[in-house]
Structure 1
Amino acid sequence: MLPEFEFCRKAFEENGLSLTAEVYEKLDIYAEMLVETNKVMNLTAITEPEEVLIKHFIDSIAITRFAKFEDGMKVIDVGTGAGFPLLPVKIYIPGLKITLLDGLNKRIKFLSDVCEKTGIEAECIHERAELLAKKEEYREKYDIATARAVSAMPELSEYCLPFVKKGGIFCAMKGPSEDIRTAGNALKLLGGKIEKDEHYEINGEQRRLVVVKKAAVCPPKYPRASGKIKSKPL
């Protein structure tokens, strides 16, 4: 499904990343399953091999250039969808302990199938983020939370920061033009503080990663119900 290995290796290198044959093989299986499953389930609008490589896989893995992902770290991907960004990152850094969280069960079934086919160990959970974050075994238990989502930063922070333990980080893949200053009050209430706001390019296209440090414990009343998060952002 993916272009040949040498093409992919060069594409990785052009974006400051390396690519091994083992990682390539697993990404190739993932890409084939993504495109095939997409014929019967809406997972992605991106299905051309080179675009899957650049806009899904390299786009996801590139965040490891700006935030520290290390073996043994616990990482949760909130609203993971088709698995981006965390599943490619797990393939790239196999020692991560990951949780893929989504509110749509058929997406979680797809991700479970990908993990089984590629031999990846991951916890795949079908649940709403605002409900799971209230459970003791998941609340403030993660070194990193990731999200590649369209929600504005105040909303996304309320969904994600309650999962992050004090001293951990929340990595938000955001549009280059979003005014993240609107999240100032939300971050203050949730115990977060912006550590980095990285602007970079992937094959000439603008990308952005906002890294939020979890500086204090999140008050127990957060996250609120989803309706309140959306109608009355912090």
Structure 2
Amino acid sequence: MSTDRLQAAFKDRLESQGLRLTEDQCELFDTYYRLLVVWNEKMNLTRITERTAVYWKHFYDSLSLAFFVDLTEDVRLLDVGSGAGFPAVPLKIAFPHLRVTAVDSQKKRLTFLSELKRALRLRDFQFVHARAEELGRDGVHREQYDIATARAVARLNVLCEYCLPFVRLGGQFLAMKTDRYSEEVRDAAAAMDQLGGRYAEAHTFALPHQFGRRSIVRIVKEKRTPEQFPRRAGIPAKQPIQ
């Protein structure tokens, strides 16, 4: 598929979901793709580099949060384990008013995000080099976000400890998962309860062109996260809350 046809199909499919992109925003996605391919030769950012697959499996998938959650208002969003910028950067392109923080423990990835920020002229977009377990204890970030999200980072019982400490009361944690999320929700019940969250719902949908099925698991923050969480770096993954 030619670049023009792909961009038109991408734009039309998003519009069918209620998300309209301008021509300038479409150009930003093209710039993003080209930078991703160039930088991927220097460092391992993604296994997916073919243009069509990147648009549907990375860009469209990242934007799917907006199909189920209202991002048109003033929202402060945190992306844990942002990696090559998914979903933080596509969401920021589509919703320029969002106040976005991307967190990653690998500094080289943040070098790429820094270049993206410059090339795409992103404002109100910051990135932090830190482990989520450590940053979650920092008062500058703890319980300060309307939305925390994570994509392809860990199982849900671990993600809850990474993400819920960042979410304000009344805010939400949106976990981006495959359609096989049910077992993870069951396994994460204790973690949600102890960290102040409650499972609300999940939305499952198909990516275009048979690129797979995805789910958005929504957990609302009803109570403050106890001071003992998150635990020391590495502990949540080794010893998930049970």
Residue equivalent to 1:113: 115
1:91 partnered with 2:93: yes
2:134–2:233 CA contact under 8 A, matched in 1: no
> Per-residue CA shift, 1:114-162, capped at 9, x if unaligned?
0111110211111111101111111000000010024110100000000
Corresponding residue for residue 207 of structure 1: 214
Q: How does 1:31-46 map to 2 (within 5 A)?
A: 31-46=33-48
Q: Are 1:170 and 1:214, in contact at CA under 8 Å, matched by a contact in 2?
A: yes
Structure 1 residues 1-234: aligned runs within 5 Å: 3-4=3-4, 5-13=7-15, 17-121=19-123, 122-178=125-181, 179=183, 180-203=185-208, 204=210, 205-234=212-241
Judge which range, 71-80 or 34-43, deviates more: 71-80
Shift in Å, 1:16: 5.3
Runs of 4+ in structure 1 deviating by more than 6 angstroms, as ranges, are none
> Under a length normalisation based on structure 1, what TM-score does the superposition of the two structures give?
0.95
Report percent identity of matched pairs.
Answer: 38
Deviations 1:3-62 (A, max 9, x none): 213233234345554332121011111111001100111000111111111011111001
The answer (yes or no) to whether the contact 2:17–2:67 under 8 Å persists in 1 is no
Q: State the one-letter code of the partner of 1:47.
A: T
- What's the offset of the Cα at 1:223? 0.5
Shift of 1:196: 1.6
Which structure 2 segments of 5+ residues have no match? none
Indicate the SS of the match to 1:135. Answer: coil
User: Is the CA contact (8 Å cut-off) linking 1:102 and 1:126 kept in structure 2?
Assistant: yes
Gaps of 5+ in 1: none
Q: Tell me, yes or no, if the aligned pair for 1:15 and 1:202 is still in contact at 8 Å.
A: no
TM-score, length-scaled by structure 2: 0.92
Q: Paired residues, what number?
A: 233
